[in-house]
């Protein structure tokens, strides 16, 4: 195997570290969990990304989920170009925001109203604020390993980069903030029941990733989400589904459609911006009526509903709503799952592979992964060697055992065959 050249990425990284903390604008990109220097990307098209040195990779990060159609989709790119010629931001309402809002409400019938923001973090922190304003209660419940963005109160036992870097309880978050966040083990119904029976009067909301994509890919046990819905309804606690990652990913209607659970509020992001910065939160009209200027709960954003981002989101969702799109993505995802399982088995290496729709994760462990504690038992050293071996063989995976991988409509069967071949060659030498 000819080792790839990364000299330009290396030069850029050295330069970047002089002006940007850690040389990156988001920690997980720094390759700290897998070793080596991060790739600096020059361009992308379809299923592939190309780094500064011209190396090409089949990409399963897809910008952490948004590029579900594949990179630089012609319809999305030309629509953004046209929108840009009309100006890039007005700070005033536009028809585009109404169009995207109506599209989202059509696909997510649990949502009566939706507010656009600029990131998943803004979506979740605003949803929690609306729930607190609606109930008059202070506490928010989250699950260990779930990552809902970096708002202070949510960096408690958080997943994603917070777990990768061993700061699930980040310094800089005052104890008083963290005191209003209660964490539970994911999939632990008895713990959930005990907490709700004892503390419901203080609990404004429960926020959950219905499929936990920020410790890899952890599925809800049968009955867990249903029990959560029953208990939150019983005690008047607002149930927030953080579908920033699972929305349009686990199915067109997200995890709520996939599992048949109707949350009170939903947070979206990633796919609904088509790669441009968009987050959204919405749900029951009586809760959303609390949000300013309709109600007293303040939330704002200079670039919220930005015309370019709205255009990218509208075109992406229109493409996704075409017949057969999710069938194709499902077929490709299942083909990859079967291939990766076979590769590990043939190589005689114990792994666990989990998938929900077109998000997935390979854990290097020989025990089931059902929550944060069991995910933490995975062999991150082995994962690091897997990641590097795959990169050298032209496959780009998320640079951490505690992240999910994603499939796009543009991944061909040939891409998947090459990925599986690379996986077997990598795993057998691990």
Per CB under 6 A, which region of 44-52, 97-105, 238-246, 302-310 contacts ligand KE4? Answer: 238-246
Q: Distance (Å, rounded) from C-alpha 281 to C-alpha 294? A: 15
Residue 258: phi, psi to the nearest 5?
-60, -40
Name which of 148 and 382 has its Cβ closer to ligand KE4.
148
Site string for ligand KE4, 252-271 (x = CB under 6 A): -----------------x--
Give the closest residue to 274 by CA, choosing from 60, 77, 126.
77
User: Which of these, 382, 353, 385, 378, lies nearest to 145 by C-alpha position?
Assistant: 378
Among 97, 144, 209, 371, contact with ligand KE4 (rule: CB under 6 A) = 209
Nearest-approach distance from CB 2 to ligand KE4, in angstroms: 31
Residue in the block written with tokens 């840009």: 84
Neighbours of 328 (CB within 10 A): 13
Applying CB under 6 A, which of residues 38, 133, 149, 399 lies at the interface with ligand KE4? 149
Distance separating alpha carbons of residues 248 and 268, to the nearest angstrom: 9
Q: Which two tokens stand for residue 407?
A: 């499939």
> Taking CB under 6 A as the criterion, which residues in 96-125 touch ligand KE4?
119-121, 124
| Residue position matching structure tokens 């505690």 | 402
Plot region of 274 (φ>0 → left; ψ -120 to 50 → alpha; else → beta): left
User: In the complex, what is the shortest distance from the CB of residue 9 to ligand KE4, in angstroms, rounded to a whole number?
Assistant: 18
Using CB under 6 A as the binding rule, the residues of this chain from 45 to 84 that contact ligand KE4 are 64
What's the closest the beta carbon of residue 120 comes to ligand KE4, in angstroms? 2
- Applying CB under 6 A, does 160 fall inside the site for ligand KE4? yes
CA 349 to chain centre: 28
Could you tell me the sign of the dihedral formed by the alpha carbons of 406, 408, 410, 414, in that order? positive
Nearer to ligand KE4, 114 or 335 (CB): 114
Phi, psi of 45 (to 5 degrees): -155, 125
Q: How far is the CB of 277 from ligand KE4 (least distance, A)?
A: 7
Q: Is 144 near ligand KE4 (CB under 6 A)?
A: no
Contacting range for ligand KE4; rule: CB under 6 A; set: 207-215, 217-225, 257-265, 350-358: 207-215
Residues in touch with ligand KE4 (CB under 6 A): 26, 28, 64, 119-121, 124, 147-149, 160-161, 209, 213-214, 242, 244-245, 269, 279, 403
């Amino acid at each position: 195997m000819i080792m790839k050249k990364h000299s330009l990425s290396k030069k850029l990284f050295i330069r970047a570290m002089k002006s940007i903390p850690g040389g990156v604008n988001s920690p997980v990109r720094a390759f700290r969990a897998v070793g080596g220097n991060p790739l600096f990307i020059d361009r992308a098209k379809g299923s592939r990304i190309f780094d500064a040195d011209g190396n090409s990779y089949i990409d399963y990060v897809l910008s952490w989920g948004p590029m579900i159609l594949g990179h630089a989709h012609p319809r999305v790119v030309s629509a953004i170009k046209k929108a840009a010629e009309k100006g890039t931001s007005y700070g005033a309402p536009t028809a585009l925001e109404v169009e995207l809002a109506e599209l989202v409400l059509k696909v997510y019938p649990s949502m009566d109203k939706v507010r656009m923001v600029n990131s998943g973090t803004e979506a979740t922190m605003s949803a929690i604020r609306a729930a607190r304003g609606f109930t008059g209660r202070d506490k928010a419940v989250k699950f260990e390993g779930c990552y809902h963005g970096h708002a202070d109160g949510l960096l408690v036992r958080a997943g994603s980069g917070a777990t990768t870097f061993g700061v699930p309880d980040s310094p800089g978050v005052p104890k008083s903030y963290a005191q209003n966040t209660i964490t539970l083990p994911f999939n632990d119904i008895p713990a959930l029941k005990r907490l709700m029976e004892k503390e419901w009067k203080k609990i404004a909301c429960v926020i959950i990733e219905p499929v936990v994509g920020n410790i890899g890919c952890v599925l809800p046990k049968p009955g867990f989400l249903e029990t959560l819905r029953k208990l939150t309804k019983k005690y008047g606690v607002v149930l927030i589904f953080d579908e920033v990652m699972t929305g349009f990913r686990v199915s067109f209607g997200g995890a709520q459609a996939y599992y048949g659970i109707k949350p009170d509020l939903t947070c979206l992001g990633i796919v609904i911006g088509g790669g441009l910065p968009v987050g959204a939160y919405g749900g029951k009209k009586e809760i959303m009526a609390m949000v300013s200027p309709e109600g007293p709960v303040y939330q704002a954003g200079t670039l919220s509903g930005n015309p370019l981002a709205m255009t990218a989101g509208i075109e992406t969702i229109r493409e996704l709503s075409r017949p057969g799109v999710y069938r194709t993505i499902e077929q490709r995802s299942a083909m990859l799952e079967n291939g990766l399982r076979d590769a590990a088995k043939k190589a005689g290496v114990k792994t666990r592979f989990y998938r929900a729709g077109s998000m997935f994760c390979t854990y290097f462990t020989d025990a089931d992964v059902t929550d944060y504690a069991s995910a933490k038992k995975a062999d991150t050293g082995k994962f690091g060697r897997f990641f590097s071996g795959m990169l050298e063989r032209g496959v780009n995976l998320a640079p951490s055992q505690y992240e999910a991988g994603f499939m796009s409509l543009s991944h061909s069967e040939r891409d998947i065959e090459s990925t599986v071949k690379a996986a077997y060659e990598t795993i057998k030498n691990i």
